[in-house]
Structure 1
Amino acid sequence: MQNRREPIFNLPATIVVIGVVLTAIHSVTFVVSPQTWLWTVLTFGFLPARYDPAFAYYGQLPGGLAADAWTFVSYAFLHGSWMHLGINVAWMVAFGTPVLRRFGTVRFLVLSGVAAVAGAALHLATHWGEAVPMIGASAAISGQMGAAVRFAFQRHVLFGIPDDNDERWKQPAVPLVEAFRDIRVLAFVVIWFAVNLAFGATPMIPGQDAPIAWQAHIGGFLVGLLLFGIFDPARPPKQPQGTGADGGERGH
């Protein structure tokens, strides 16, 4: 019997394509002029001042009314540095991969988009009128993290198991309250919030040219954590009639 050789990196095609697209977009920043890059950031980055009538250039930014809508998502495709991009892609590979395998491509992309919108909305609420653009996929990937924590610590699903069987990612998820009874889930969420709050207290980190938009991370994470049941296609196994069992119920 011939042994089947497994690839070292067995990533879903969607994750690879997103990584390639983000890398290609960032690579363009090295061939365009500074003026073109500024136009790109003002057109596709998320700028809270765009929505403030008191802003000196209110109504004059490129993209007009259409950009008022699309920048809630388009900012996630731009990055400020290779470190910024590399960190986001690495987190997407780690947390986005199991979520994609569970949700499928369409649900995964919708979740990521909603998380990006929620991240931009929370950033807008906490930075109203600010003329510093926000870029990066962190809010969308934070949404993937929030979704992953809802199921990835369960038995037979735990991160790190060298198993290529996608079925292990599709085990019914326990309700949110029950999930928080798992010390690993609770510890992950607490540490995640602590790290992001620490970013909020740090004006700048090495390799970054702008402060971390940690509020956007929280907005995205809450979407994945709290709205998981809306996107989750997995259903609990049917219980035999008359047993009165309610185990395995999917949580929202």
Structure 2
Amino acid sequence: MDDEQPPRQEPKDPRPQRVPAFNLPPIILASLAVLVAVFALMNVPSWSDDRLNWIYFTFSFMPARYAFPLAQQGLEWLWTPVTYSLLHGGVEHIVFNSLWLMVFAAPVARRIGAVRYVIFWILSSAASAFMHAALFWGDQTLLIGASGVVSALMGAACRFAFPVADGRRISMREAHLNPRLGILGALRSRTVVVYIVMWIAGNALVAFGITLAGDSSQPVAWDAHIGGFLFGFLLFALFDRQPRMEEQEAAPLDE
């Protein structure tokens, strides 16, 4: 009887594998596509000012809507706490929100999945809007932009994206596999605390009219940012889907 030959092993490619520069989850790409499509639609040159004003009034968030009986109004109060987050007032506005969205939304979306991500967007958008309404009750100004949602994603990332394993930090591409920190545990993390302090300082400057990035000619709803961040940081556990232990063990580490 002939001896069995061992299975042939293919030689390994010694060249390092290339990692895509923008390896974003499909739901994040869809979010960016929606924001860009809405922005492009609102900047159609042939549209009149009256039509644009109607769009802003119908889909922007206005605190004054909630200072009067809802039965005496149209239905805008029902959807504007969410639709305002899809509108942007200028190129710099949408560019900065999109960049921050790519950074912080990707690990959150990988961790909680597309359906929970959409629910997180809806609820964090409403939380940001009503934080703004609470401080400016009855105000007739219009709130637009995804900054509140982005702030909520930043708050959520503080609960899992910064922990270390065995003294080494897990690669940001696999940050969604980190264990979730409790609220007090996150506040005991030096990295998280430094990040939160810097974030608060940036918003404090905005509150005093000092804009570090973006269009300084437009007012910034710093209060909506705080509402979103608190929502994401304090309530992330309600959306979290803990990774399996074998996935955590397989996560690559940065030296």
Query: TM-score per shorter chain, which class?
Result: 0.7 to 0.9
User: How far did 1:59 drift?
Assistant: 4.7
Show the counterpart of 1:104: 113
User: CA offsets, 1:100-133, max 9 Å, x none?
Assistant: 0111111111112111111111111111121110
Number of aligned residue pairs: give it: 226
Could you tell me which of 130, 144, 155 is aligned with 1:121?
Answer: 130
User: Are 1:207 and 2:215 an aligned pair?
Assistant: yes
Q: 1:158 to 1:69 in 2, by over 3 A?
A: farther
Q: 1:162 to 1:178 in 2, by over 3 A?
A: closer
Could you tell me which of 236, 240, 244 is aligned with 1:232?
Answer: 240
Cα contact 1:204–1:210 (8 A) shared by 2: no
Give the percent of matched residue pairs that are identical in Structure 1 and Structure 2: 37
Q: Distance in 2 between matches of 1:171 and 1:191?
A: 23
User: CA offsets, 1:120-151, max 9 Å, x none?
Assistant: 11111111121110000111111111000111
Structure 2 segments unaligned to the other structure (5+ residues) = 1-11, 246-255
Match for 2:134: what amino acid?
A: A
Match for 1:68: what amino acid?
A: W
Q: Distance in 2 between matches of 1:182 and 1:226?
A: 15
Could you tell me which of 17, 26, 37 is aligned with 1:13?
Answer: 26
Match for 1:228: what amino acid?
A: F
Show the counterpart of 2:62: 47
Cα contact 1:111–1:231 (8 A) shared by 2: yes
Query: Pairwise mapping of residues 1-252 of structure 1 onto structure 2 (< 5 A)?
Result: 1-2=12-13, 4-31=17-44, 32-53=47-68, 59=72, 64=74, 66-156=75-165, 158=169, 161=171, 163=173, 166=174, 168-202=175-209, 207-234=215-242
Q: 1:179 to 1:162 in 2, by over 3 A?
A: closer
Q: Secondary structure at the match of 2:231?
A: helix
User: How far did 1:170 drift?
Assistant: 2.3
User: How far did 1:208 drift?
Assistant: 4.8
Q: Secondary structure at the match of 2:164?
A: coil
Cα contact 2:163–2:179 (8 A) shared by 1: no
Q: Distance in 1 between matches of 2:218 and 2:140?
A: 12
Cα contact 2:161–2:178 (8 A) shared by 1: no
Q: Secondary structure at the match of 1:227?
A: helix
Structure having the higher Rg: 2
Cα contact 1:100–1:108 (8 A) shared by 2: yes
User: How far did 1:194 drift?
Assistant: 1.6
Q: Distance in 2 between matches of 1:116 and 1:196?
A: 18
Output the aligned Cα RMSD: 2.3
User: CA offsets, 1:72-110, max 9 Å, x none?
Assistant: 111000000010001111011000000001111111111
User: How far did 1:49 drift?
Assistant: 1.7
Match for 2:51: what amino acid?
A: T
Cα contact 2:111–2:243 (8 A) shared by 1: no
Q: Please, what TM-score do these two structures have when normalized by structure 1?
A: 0.82
Match for 1:122: what amino acid?
A: M
